[in-house]
Each structure stands twice: as structure tokens, then as C-alpha cells.
Amino acid sequence: MRIVVDANVPAARECFAPLGEVIAVPGREIDAAAVREADALVVRSITRVDEALVAGSRLRFVGTCTIGTDHVDRAALAARDIGFASAPGCNAEAVVDYVLASLATLAERQGFGLTERRVGIVGVGNVGGRLRARLEALGIECLACDPPRVEAESIEAEGGAGFHELDALIDACDVLCLHTPLVREGPHATRHLLDARRIAELAPGTILLNAGRGDCLDGQALRSRLSGQDDITAVLDVWEREPAIDAALCDLAEIATPHIAGHSRDGKLRGTHAVYQALAHRFGLPVRLTMEDLSPPPPLPSLTLDEGLSVDEALRLCMRAVYDVRRDHDALHRERRRQGMAAGFDDCRARYPLRREFSTLTVALRPAAEALAGPLSAAGFRVAVGSEG
């Protein structure tokens, strides 16, 4: 069996080499010629999988190591009886880490406490649902918007979830986080969900964070608001027209990163492992590798805290010990200056130093710091209380 794999899929050879011949190709170079003689294709979000790509191939399986699937024409695959799998939820924890790290950084820069802000979450799926749970555990008030879930029959079984209209979130929230898939048509289309009207209605002081899909936000309208009034804050990880993103908007964003919110080593490995399992099942092959086989130990397994830190200080310290979002902001601007926007954006992603997730760090608390246990655990860290070490 011949398996074409995006060259940036981690642990690809460990997972797929036991199943067949692995051919690694950069994601943007995967074309019809590259897959013509392949039996299976494993991609990430930068490769468009459509009729033009798969026509004339012998493909029997396509897998994407991502949560999102809007880069895959599933109807084209089904018409050719090509099996398909994605990795829903694989990097959701990493995206939540990114949001918390960004909010903690802004809280420090702008001088507010995390619990002083009301957060509106647009899209309460794998990412938004986990974000809501962690924020509420931290004592941060949240409002949620997810019209498709309101219509779902399962909502009654959940006892109601207190969903609100998007315009209500815009009116009531200090922070607006977008975590929706890209849906171009239909009653719940999300392309330019935050359009010029809604961006104009954001109250001064609002923090707007998009770690969902770039096209869900009207970038031109946001650029006009930021360059004109300069009274809201933007945190942008996803962009329209990646990788040739709007340089002016990038300059205006307080935190600008190159679509890496979900790029943790743990999340990437989950995605690879999920597609490995699906591919093996598709071809009737045994699944022998586990996530434990793939996951290396974290470079910083633990740290110890004593008295003297406020909750927000302790959260920032522990978050940055695992992941500092400022590194990725600085890298994008540095590589843009060196290589140009599109090449710099892609290079940041291709050479990204995969981070670990908050859950890989155990925070040992000496007795005088035991009050930090609740907030640190809520943020996603492992906590050991009463350490004298």
C-alpha cells in the first residue's frame, strides 16, 4: 500500500510505515500527480481535497489530521467510494490553552483581572465547549451562542444550555471568542458571521479573539475599525486568504499568530493517531500503536510554588512555563520581515516548535500556596497539594 502524507504530520512514519510505503510531501505541494498512484492520503488543513485532486487516482482512503473538514469535498470522496476520516477534538485542548494564554497576556498588558471580564463564546463544539468549562471553573462568567445546537434534539436532553443570540453576546460581553466551523451557505452560514455591522457594534474595550476560521470574520471591516477608532483589541490566529494574509490587519492585531492555536505536540499526535486508526480499519489491518507509544515526556514535567503569588500571577507563570503566546506573535512578525507575508506565514507553520499542553505540567503547591489549587486545576494543570519539596 502506498500512503502519501503531508510532510508536517508528526509521527507519520511511526504510525503509517507499518501499514505501507510512506511518501512525505509538503502540504501545499500535494496535487493530482502526487496522489495518482497512492492508496491512501493523509493531509492537514492546508491541502484542498476535491474532485480535481482525486480524479484519476486509485485512492481508497483520505484522512485529515484536523478538527475542521471544510478543506475536504466529502461528496467527491463518497462518489468514488473513498473512505474518509478526520480527528474531531484532537487539538481542542491546545486551542483552549491558546485562548487562556492570550487572555492572561492581555490582562497583564491592560491591567484587568481575568474574572472581571464576561466572555461570549460563539460556537460551542469541541473547542468552545471545553473553553466554556474551563472559564466557568475559573469563575469567569460566560455566555454562549450556537444556533445549530439550539435546534438539535439533544439540547433538551442536556437540560438546556442557556444559549443566546450573537447580537446579545455583542451587547453583553467584554470578550468575544469565535470557534465556529466555516459554513458558506444555508441558515447557519458562518462566512463573515462577524460582518461590518457587527464589528461596528462592538463596544469600546471589547477583546475580539478568532481561533476558529479566518473567513468567519470580515477582515477588511475589522481593519477599518482598528485603524479608525482603535478602541477594541484583536487577537487573531486565523485569517482570510492564508497564507497571504492582510499585512495591515496583522500590524493592528494586539496578538497575531500564524494559525497555530491548535499546534500542540499532544494535539497533533492525537490527530495522527486518530487517522492511523481509521486507515487501519479501512484496510482491515491491526491497530498496534497507542497514544502512550507516541507521546514523549514533557520537557518541564513539574514546578513548585510557594506563597507570594496572586491567582493571576500564578496562572500567568504556569501558563508561560508551558506556552508563551508572545513567542508566536513575535515569530510571525520576524519571518514576515525576512521572507514576506505569505512565505513567512507558511514558514512559521512548517517549522513550528510544537508546544505541550497545560495538562502535561504538574504544579506542586507548598502548604502556604494551597489556595491556588482550585484556579490552577481549573486552568488545566495537574495539581499536587501540600508538597514540602
Give yes or no: 242 in active site: yes
Asked whether residue 45 is marked as a ligand-binding residue, the answer is yes
Rounded to an integer, what distance in angstroms lies between the CA atom of residue 336 and that of residue 37? 37
Q: Which one of 242, 313, 320, 382 is the catalytic residue?
A: 242
Q: Which one of 44, 198, 225, 259 is the catalytic residue?
A: 259
Give yes or no: 213 in active site: yes
Asked whether residue 228 is marked as a ligand-binding residue, the answer is no
In SS3 terms, the chain reads as CEEEEECCCCCHHHHHCCCCEEEEECHHHCCHHHHCCCCEEEECCCCCECHHHHCCCCCCEEEECCCCCCCECHHHHHHCCCEEECCCCCCHHHHHHHHHHHHHHHHHHHCCCHHHCCEEEECCCHHHHHHHHHHHHCCCCEEEECHHHHHCCHHHHCCCCCECCHHHHHHHCCEEEECCCCCCCCCCCCCCCECHHHHHHCCCCCEEEECCCHHHECHHHHHHHHHHCCCCEEEECCCCCCCCCCHHHHHHCCEECCCCCCCEHHHHHHHHHHHHHHHHHHCCCCCCCCHHHHCCCCCCCEEEECCCCCHHHHHHHHHHHHCCHHHHHHHHHHHHHHHCHHHHHHHHHHCCCCECCHHHCEEEECHHHHHHHHHHHHHCCEEEECCCC
Question: Which of 338, 331, 334 lies closest to 353 in space, CA to CA?
Answer: 331
Asked whether residue 237 is marked as a ligand-binding residue, the answer is yes
Q: Which one of 44, 134, 149, 213 is the catalytic residue?
A: 213
Asked whether residue 262 is marked as a ligand-binding residue, the answer is yes
Asked whether residue 295 is marked as a ligand-binding residue, the answer is no
Asked whether residue 230 is marked as a ligand-binding residue, the answer is no
- Backbone φ and ψ for 252, nearest 5 degrees, come out as -85, -20
Provide the annotated binding site for substrate: 45, 66
Residues designated catalytic: 213, 242, 259
Provide the annotated binding site: 45, 66, 146, 180, 237, 262
